[in-house]
Amino acid sequence: MKLNRPYRILTFATTVLLLVPALFANEIGPDEGREILERIDSLVSYEESDFSAEYTVTQERPGQGQSRTKMTMFRRDRDNRYTILIMEPAADRGKGYVRIGENLWLYDPADQRFTRTSARDRFENTNARNSDFTQSTLAEDYRIVGHEREQLGAYDTDVYELEAVTDDVTYPRMRIWVDQDGLVRKFEDYSLSGQHMRSTAIPRYRRLGDQFVAVQIVIQDELRGREVDGEFRHERTIIAVDKPSLRDVPDMVFTRAYLERVSD
């Protein structure tokens, strides 16, 4: 019944391997956790100014080619407002979203009406969500339930496991990789059952004063993809951000009338 020596060593090594991350994981209290998340939010939130930029969203579907959506985004985080104008493809030009408070409206010029929609919805049939383009509210929506350190390529990162404290979020669990500047470099979204839904990488930021703008974002759908040349490839959405600015935006831009005015 006794285990021979190699098995005992292997068993011990495995146990150590499994316990090491737990030993190094730090317990973070609720207040400290909230402070950490508030700092992360503050670097990419623009409470003192307006924000505008052009976004190019490229959807890669393995074996089915690419589609591209170009849009112009205006944000006023202090009022919880944003406006998105779809510029390309030509068939969708003129469509737009306006968010006022917690209310999100979609304007479709084809039937000349505004319909209420949800920020949970996929953005224009890509793997991005409407919520991916809005103010970061990690501190409001999540609490930290786990922490460890990890090397992410060139970055020393703190990896936080987050659990939602509200039902208003798309994903109830997340893991975020935060670099030493406090910028989220990567995050993974999980369902309530622990199913890994999406991974998102943010390889590039641009600095605007004291704030940062994510200018390259890659979203990988962990559930959808296709086998190509014998290898499974995930669907990916690549977001490139151009012309980011913190200049003031006219009040009129954050109204439903503005969408009608600029639409075709």
Partner 1 sequence: MRVSRLLRTVLAAAICVSLGLTFTPDHLSALDEFFEEPDPGVADDENGDETEDEAEDTEDNDEPEDAEGIDFDALTTAPTTFSGSVSTGIGAAVSLIDWPWTDEAQARDPLENYELAGGYDLSASFGVDARPGAHLRFSARMGTSLNPDSMSLSAPRFSRLFVDYTLAESIYFRVGRYGMTWGQGRVVGNPANFVSDVSDGMAVRAVVPAGRGSVTGLVYSKGAWVSQYSPQNPKAFAYAGQWETSLDAISLTAAGWGRYSEPLRTSASVSGSIGAFDLTVEAVNRWDWNRPFAPENLDLRLLTQVLWEGGDPSWVIIGEHLSDSTVPSFRGHRAGVALRMPRFGALGVNWRPQVRVRHAFHDNSGEVVTGLTGTVAPDLSMSIGAPFRYGPPGSYYRQGDFGSDLQDIGGVAALGLGVSLSFSF
Q: Is 181 in the site for partner 1 (CB under 8 A)?
A: yes
Closest listed residue to residue 227, CA positions, set 100, 84, 95, 63: 63
Q: Which residues within the stretch 17-46 sit at the binding site for partner 1 (CB under 8 A)?
A: 17-18
d(CA 143, CA 169): 13
Alpha carbon distance 55, 93 (integer Å): 14
Q: What is the number of other CB atoms lying within 10 angstroms of the CB of residue 105?
A: 17
Q: Which stretch binds partner 1 (CB under 8 A): 24-32, 34-42, 135-143, 242-250?
A: 242-250
The minimum distance between CB 139 and partner 1, in angstroms, equals 18
Q: Please tell me the chain's helix, strand, coil percentages from 3-state DSSP, rounded to the nearest 5.
A: 20, 50, 30
Minimum distance, C-beta of residue 207 to partner 1, in the bound complex (Å)? 6
- How far is the C-alpha of 182 from the C-alpha of 46, rounded, in Å? 16
Q: Could you give the maximum distance between any two Cα atoms of the chain, in Å? A: 82
CA distances from 39 to 2, 81, 180 (A): 54, 21, 12
Contact 82, 76 (CB under 8 A): yes
Footprint on residues 90-119 left by partner 1 (CB under 8 A): 90-91, 100-103, 111-113, 115-118
Q: Which is nearer to partner 1, 33 or 177 (CB)?
A: 177
When binding is defined by CB under 8 A, the residue of 39, 153, 165, 192 that contacts partner 1 is 153
CB-wise, 49 or 163, nearer to partner 1?
Answer: 49
Q: How far is the CB of 40 from partner 1 (least distance, A)?
A: 14
Binding residue (CB under 8 A) for partner 1 from 23, 209, 229, 231 = 209
Query: Among residue numbers 47 through 86, which ones bind partner 1 (CB under 8 A)?
Result: 52-54, 72, 74, 79, 85
Does 244 participate in binding partner 1 (rule CB under 8 A)? yes
205 binds partner 1 (CB under 8 A): yes
Among 25, 152, 164, 240, binds partner 1 (CB under 8 A): 152
**Minimum distance from residue 31 beta carbon to partner 1 (Å):** 25
Please identify, using beta-carbon distances, which residue of 18 and 23 lies nearer to partner 1. Answer: 18
Among 124, 132, 161, 188, binds partner 1 (CB under 8 A): 188
Measured CA to CA, the distance from residue 261 to residue 264 in angstroms comes to: 8
From the list 29-37, 139-147, 252-260, the region that binds partner 1 by CB under 8 A is 252-260
How many Cα atoms occupy the beta-carbon half-sphere of 164 within 13 Å? Answer: 14
Residue 6: phi and psi, rounded to 5, are -60, -40
> Which residue has 């190509």 as its token pair?
228
